[in-house]
Amino acid sequence: MLRLAAAVGGVALAAGQAEEVPLECKTYEVESYTGCTADGSANHCQTKLTAAGVTGYTLEGDDSLCRTTAEETSCGENPRPANLTACEAKYPIAISANETDPEDITLTPKTWAFYTITVDAATSMRHAQYSFEVPTAENNLSVAFLVGRCLLEVECGQCPPRAETLMSTEREPQICTLPDYCPGCDERVGQEGGCYEYTTEGAVTGYKRYTGTWSNLKRCEQEEAEFYIGVYPMDESFETGATVAAKLKVWWDASSAGPRVAPSLLAVLVAALAAAFA
Protein backbone atom coordinates (compact mmCIF):
# COMPACT_ATOMS: atom_id res chain seq x y z
CA MET A 1 0.00 0.00 0.00
CA LEU A 2 1.12 3.58 -0.67
CA ARG A 3 0.58 6.71 1.36
CA LEU A 4 1.06 10.20 -0.04
CA ALA A 5 3.74 12.09 1.86
CA ALA A 6 5.87 15.21 1.53
CA ALA A 7 9.37 14.82 0.15
CA VAL A 8 10.54 17.75 2.24
CA GLY A 9 10.91 17.31 5.96
CA GLY A 10 8.13 19.48 7.33
CA VAL A 11 5.45 21.98 6.39
CA ALA A 12 6.26 25.61 7.17
CA LEU A 13 3.67 28.05 8.47
CA ALA A 14 3.17 31.41 6.80
CA ALA A 15 0.63 34.02 7.83
CA GLY A 16 -1.05 31.46 10.05
CA GLN A 17 -1.62 29.02 7.18
CA ALA A 18 0.10 25.73 6.44
CA GLU A 19 2.14 26.06 3.27
CA GLU A 20 0.98 23.52 0.72
CA VAL A 21 3.73 21.22 -0.50
CA PRO A 22 4.14 21.59 -4.28
CA LEU A 23 2.76 18.61 -6.17
CA GLU A 24 6.16 17.76 -7.65
CA CYS A 25 7.60 17.53 -4.13
CA LYS A 26 5.13 14.91 -2.95
CA THR A 27 6.10 11.26 -2.89
CA TYR A 28 4.54 8.00 -1.83
CA GLU A 29 5.53 6.25 1.36
CA VAL A 30 5.90 2.55 0.75
CA GLU A 31 4.82 0.17 3.50
CA SER A 32 6.44 -2.97 2.06
CA TYR A 33 9.85 -3.48 0.51
CA THR A 34 11.73 -6.26 -1.26
CA GLY A 35 15.50 -6.43 -1.17
CA CYS A 36 18.68 -7.95 0.21
CA THR A 37 18.52 -8.99 3.87
CA ALA A 38 21.84 -10.85 4.19
CA ASP A 39 24.09 -9.39 6.90
CA GLY A 40 27.31 -7.86 5.60
CA SER A 41 25.94 -7.03 2.16
CA ALA A 42 26.71 -3.65 0.67
CA ASN A 43 23.02 -3.09 -0.08
CA HIS A 44 21.58 -4.46 3.17
CA CYS A 45 17.93 -3.42 3.07
CA GLN A 46 17.36 -2.85 6.78
CA THR A 47 20.45 -0.63 6.99
CA LYS A 48 19.31 1.53 4.07
CA LEU A 49 15.77 1.89 5.41
CA THR A 50 16.99 2.81 8.90
CA ALA A 51 19.36 5.43 7.44
CA ALA A 52 16.43 6.90 5.52
CA GLY A 53 14.32 7.09 8.68
CA VAL A 54 11.76 4.55 7.43
CA THR A 55 9.79 2.75 10.14
CA GLY A 56 6.72 0.52 10.34
CA TYR A 57 7.38 -1.40 7.14
CA THR A 58 7.27 -5.03 6.08
CA LEU A 59 10.25 -6.53 4.29
CA GLU A 60 10.47 -9.47 1.91
CA GLY A 61 14.02 -10.75 1.61
CA ASP A 62 15.50 -11.61 -1.78
CA ASP A 63 19.16 -12.42 -1.31
CA SER A 64 19.69 -12.88 -5.05
CA LEU A 65 19.80 -9.07 -5.03
CA CYS A 66 22.70 -8.86 -2.56
CA ARG A 67 25.93 -7.08 -3.46
CA THR A 68 29.09 -8.30 -1.72
CA THR A 69 32.75 -7.35 -1.68
CA ALA A 70 33.72 -10.89 -2.65
CA GLU A 71 31.48 -10.85 -5.72
CA GLU A 72 32.70 -7.40 -6.73
CA THR A 73 36.30 -8.64 -6.55
CA SER A 74 35.45 -11.65 -8.69
CA CYS A 75 33.73 -9.39 -11.22
CA GLY A 76 37.06 -7.63 -11.70
CA GLU A 77 38.95 -10.81 -12.54
CA ASN A 78 40.20 -11.49 -16.06
CA PRO A 79 38.85 -13.81 -17.23
CA ARG A 80 35.68 -13.26 -15.24
CA PRO A 81 34.12 -16.39 -13.68
CA ALA A 82 31.42 -17.74 -16.00
CA ASN A 83 28.79 -17.81 -13.26
CA LEU A 84 28.88 -14.03 -12.76
CA THR A 85 26.53 -11.88 -14.81
CA ALA A 86 25.55 -8.20 -15.03
CA CYS A 87 28.67 -7.12 -13.12
CA GLU A 88 28.77 -3.68 -14.74
CA ALA A 89 25.26 -2.85 -13.51
CA LYS A 90 25.67 -4.54 -10.13
CA TYR A 91 28.86 -2.62 -9.34
CA PRO A 92 28.68 0.73 -11.16
CA ILE A 93 31.36 3.40 -10.89
CA ALA A 94 30.45 6.47 -8.83
CA ILE A 95 31.20 9.81 -10.49
CA SER A 96 30.70 13.43 -9.45
CA ALA A 97 29.09 16.41 -11.12
CA ASN A 98 31.96 18.43 -12.56
CA GLU A 99 31.86 21.04 -15.32
CA THR A 100 35.62 21.31 -15.79
CA ASP A 101 37.29 17.93 -15.20
CA PRO A 102 35.87 15.00 -17.19
CA GLU A 103 35.72 11.45 -15.88
CA ASP A 104 37.81 8.95 -17.83
CA ILE A 105 35.69 6.03 -18.99
CA THR A 106 36.59 2.98 -21.07
CA LEU A 107 34.25 1.88 -23.83
CA THR A 108 34.04 -1.60 -25.33
CA PRO A 109 31.94 -2.36 -28.43
CA LYS A 110 28.45 -3.67 -27.67
CA THR A 111 29.11 -3.62 -23.91
CA TRP A 112 27.33 -1.67 -21.17
CA ALA A 113 29.20 0.51 -18.68
CA PHE A 114 27.29 1.93 -15.71
CA TYR A 115 27.92 4.97 -13.51
CA THR A 116 26.07 6.58 -10.60
CA ILE A 117 25.84 10.21 -9.56
CA THR A 118 24.16 11.81 -6.53
CA VAL A 119 22.56 15.24 -6.17
CA ASP A 120 22.11 16.51 -2.63
CA ALA A 121 18.92 18.15 -1.43
CA ALA A 122 20.47 21.62 -1.37
CA THR A 123 21.42 21.55 -5.06
CA SER A 124 18.88 23.40 -7.17
CA MET A 125 18.43 21.46 -10.40
CA ARG A 126 15.93 19.61 -12.49
CA HIS A 127 18.04 18.89 -15.55
CA ALA A 128 21.61 17.72 -16.16
CA GLN A 129 23.97 18.86 -18.86
CA TYR A 130 26.67 16.55 -20.18
CA SER A 131 29.68 16.42 -22.46
CA PHE A 132 30.78 13.10 -23.99
CA GLU A 133 34.22 13.09 -25.63
CA VAL A 134 36.08 10.59 -27.83
CA PRO A 135 39.52 10.86 -29.49
CA THR A 136 39.55 12.87 -32.73
CA ALA A 137 41.16 9.90 -34.49
CA GLU A 138 38.11 7.78 -33.66
CA ASN A 139 34.95 7.59 -35.75
CA ASN A 140 31.91 9.51 -34.53
CA LEU A 141 30.87 6.73 -32.19
CA SER A 142 27.22 5.80 -32.00
CA VAL A 143 26.30 5.52 -28.32
CA ALA A 144 23.06 4.97 -26.41
CA PHE A 145 22.64 6.57 -22.99
CA LEU A 146 20.26 5.03 -20.47
CA VAL A 147 19.57 7.47 -17.62
CA GLY A 148 17.34 6.62 -14.68
CA ARG A 149 16.59 7.55 -11.11
CA CYS A 150 17.08 5.13 -8.21
CA LEU A 151 14.26 5.03 -5.64
CA LEU A 152 14.22 3.64 -2.11
CA GLU A 153 11.04 1.70 -2.86
CA VAL A 154 12.76 -0.31 -5.62
CA GLU A 155 15.22 -2.87 -4.19
CA CYS A 156 15.69 -0.55 -1.18
CA GLY A 157 17.48 2.04 -3.27
CA GLN A 158 19.95 -0.25 -5.04
CA CYS A 159 21.43 1.78 -7.90
CA PRO A 160 20.83 0.78 -10.59
CA PRO A 161 18.04 -1.67 -9.76
CA ARG A 162 17.16 -4.76 -11.80
CA ALA A 163 20.73 -5.20 -13.00
CA GLU A 164 20.11 -8.50 -14.75
CA THR A 165 17.23 -6.98 -16.73
CA LEU A 166 19.20 -3.89 -17.70
CA MET A 167 22.02 -5.99 -19.14
CA SER A 168 19.91 -8.72 -20.74
CA THR A 169 21.15 -9.50 -24.26
CA GLU A 170 17.52 -9.48 -25.32
CA ARG A 171 17.32 -5.78 -24.51
CA GLU A 172 20.44 -4.41 -26.17
CA PRO A 173 19.76 -1.12 -28.01
CA GLN A 174 19.41 -1.49 -31.76
CA ILE A 175 18.24 1.98 -32.80
CA CYS A 176 18.93 5.29 -31.05
CA THR A 177 17.84 8.57 -32.62
CA LEU A 178 16.95 10.93 -29.76
CA PRO A 179 19.52 13.76 -29.84
CA ASP A 180 20.10 14.13 -26.10
CA TYR A 181 20.42 10.38 -25.47
CA CYS A 182 22.20 9.19 -28.62
CA PRO A 183 25.69 10.62 -29.31
CA GLY A 184 26.64 9.87 -32.90
CA CYS A 185 23.04 9.55 -34.10
CA ASP A 186 22.47 10.65 -37.69
CA GLU A 187 18.79 11.62 -37.60
CA ARG A 188 18.45 15.07 -39.29
CA VAL A 189 21.94 16.15 -38.17
CA GLY A 190 22.23 19.93 -38.02
CA GLN A 191 18.49 20.48 -38.47
CA GLU A 192 16.11 21.81 -35.84
CA GLY A 193 15.14 18.95 -33.55
CA GLY A 194 17.76 16.72 -35.12
CA CYS A 195 20.88 15.08 -33.75
CA TYR A 196 23.91 17.13 -32.84
CA GLU A 197 27.43 16.81 -34.21
CA TYR A 198 30.74 15.95 -32.57
CA THR A 199 32.95 19.04 -32.42
CA THR A 200 36.44 19.86 -31.15
CA GLU A 201 35.21 23.20 -29.76
CA GLY A 202 35.42 23.11 -25.97
CA ALA A 203 36.83 19.58 -25.95
CA VAL A 204 40.03 18.36 -24.33
CA THR A 205 43.01 18.57 -26.71
CA GLY A 206 42.99 15.54 -28.98
CA TYR A 207 39.29 14.90 -28.42
CA LYS A 208 35.95 15.83 -29.99
CA ARG A 209 32.77 16.10 -27.99
CA TYR A 210 29.01 15.65 -28.14
CA THR A 211 26.89 17.71 -25.73
CA GLY A 212 23.29 17.47 -24.60
CA THR A 213 20.81 17.81 -21.75
CA TRP A 214 18.95 15.15 -19.75
CA SER A 215 15.70 16.81 -18.81
CA ASN A 216 13.39 16.60 -15.79
CA LEU A 217 15.55 14.23 -13.78
CA LYS A 218 14.74 15.74 -10.39
CA ARG A 219 11.07 16.29 -9.64
CA CYS A 220 11.58 18.50 -6.58
CA GLU A 221 14.48 20.89 -6.06
CA GLN A 222 14.62 20.23 -2.29
CA GLU A 223 15.36 16.49 -2.31
CA GLU A 224 18.37 14.25 -2.54
CA ALA A 225 18.44 12.07 -5.61
CA GLU A 226 20.65 9.34 -7.05
CA PHE A 227 20.82 8.49 -10.73
CA TYR A 228 22.46 5.85 -12.87
CA ILE A 229 23.93 6.40 -16.33
CA GLY A 230 24.31 3.48 -18.69
CA VAL A 231 26.61 3.91 -21.69
CA TYR A 232 26.30 1.44 -24.57
CA PRO A 233 28.55 1.79 -27.68
CA MET A 234 26.54 0.49 -30.61
CA ASP A 235 29.48 0.09 -32.98
CA GLU A 236 30.64 -3.44 -33.75
CA SER A 237 34.26 -2.28 -33.59
CA PHE A 238 36.33 0.86 -33.08
CA GLU A 239 38.71 2.56 -35.51
CA THR A 240 41.59 2.96 -33.05
CA GLY A 241 41.60 -0.28 -31.05
CA ALA A 242 39.66 -2.84 -29.06
CA THR A 243 38.56 -0.18 -26.55
CA VAL A 244 38.24 3.60 -26.55
CA ALA A 245 39.32 5.94 -23.75
CA ALA A 246 36.40 8.37 -23.62
CA LYS A 247 35.57 11.22 -21.28
CA LEU A 248 32.27 12.12 -19.62
CA LYS A 249 31.26 15.28 -17.77
CA VAL A 250 27.91 15.78 -16.06
CA TRP A 251 27.02 19.03 -14.32
CA TRP A 252 24.23 21.28 -13.08
CA ASP A 253 24.14 25.06 -13.40
CA ALA A 254 21.69 27.98 -13.08
CA SER A 255 19.90 27.09 -16.30
CA SER A 256 19.40 23.53 -15.05
CA ALA A 257 16.97 24.78 -12.39
CA GLY A 258 14.80 26.68 -14.85
CA PRO A 259 11.74 25.45 -16.73
CA ARG A 260 12.35 23.32 -19.79
CA VAL A 261 9.80 21.76 -22.07
CA ALA A 262 10.79 18.17 -22.76
CA PRO A 263 9.39 14.66 -22.85
CA SER A 264 9.25 12.85 -19.55
CA LEU A 265 12.26 10.68 -18.75
CA LEU A 266 10.16 7.56 -19.05
CA ALA A 267 8.94 8.53 -22.49
CA VAL A 268 12.47 9.32 -23.59
CA LEU A 269 13.81 5.98 -22.48
CA VAL A 270 10.94 4.04 -24.01
CA ALA A 271 11.42 5.84 -27.31
CA ALA A 272 15.21 5.54 -27.29
CA LEU A 273 15.18 1.81 -26.67
CA ALA A 274 11.94 0.95 -28.44
CA ALA A 275 13.59 -1.54 -30.74
CA ALA A 276 15.30 -3.28 -27.87
CA PHE A 277 12.10 -3.74 -25.89
CA ALA A 278 9.89 -4.69 -28.84
Q: Is residue 92 reached through a cis peptide bond, with omega within 30 degrees of 0 on the bond before it? A: no
Q: How far apart (Å, rounded) are the C-alpha atoms in residues 65 and 122?
A: 31
Q: Which of 47-51, 190-194, 254-258 has the lowest average pLDDT?
A: 254-258
The answer on pLDDT for 257 being more than 80 is no
Asked if 92 contacts 148 with a C-beta cutoff of 8 angstroms, the reply is: no
Asked if 41 contacts 156 with a C-beta cutoff of 8 angstroms, the reply is: no
Residue of 126 and 162 predicted with greater confidence: 162
How far the first Cα of the chain sits from its last, in Å, is 31
Q: How many percent of the chain have pLDDT more than 90?
A: 67
The answer on pLDDT for 45 being more than 90 is yes
DSSP-assigned beta bridge partners for residue 31: none
Q: What is the mean pLDDT of the chain?
A: 84
The answer on pLDDT for 263 being more than 80 is no
Predicted pLDDT of residue 103: 96
Residue of 117 and 125 predicted with greater confidence: 117
The answer on pLDDT for 8 being more than 80 is no
Whole-model pTM? Answer: 0.83
Q: How far is CA 86 from the centre of its chain?
A: 16
DSSP track, 117-169: EEE-TT---S-EEEEEEEETTS----EEEEEEEE-TTTGGG-SSS-HHHHT-G
The runs of H, that is alpha helices, within the chain are: 45-51, 69-75, 87-90, 163-166, 265-272, 274-277
Predicted pLDDT of residue 219: 72
**Residue 81 three-state SS:** coil
Q: Which of 40-44, 241-245, 250-254 has the lowest average pLDDT?
A: 250-254
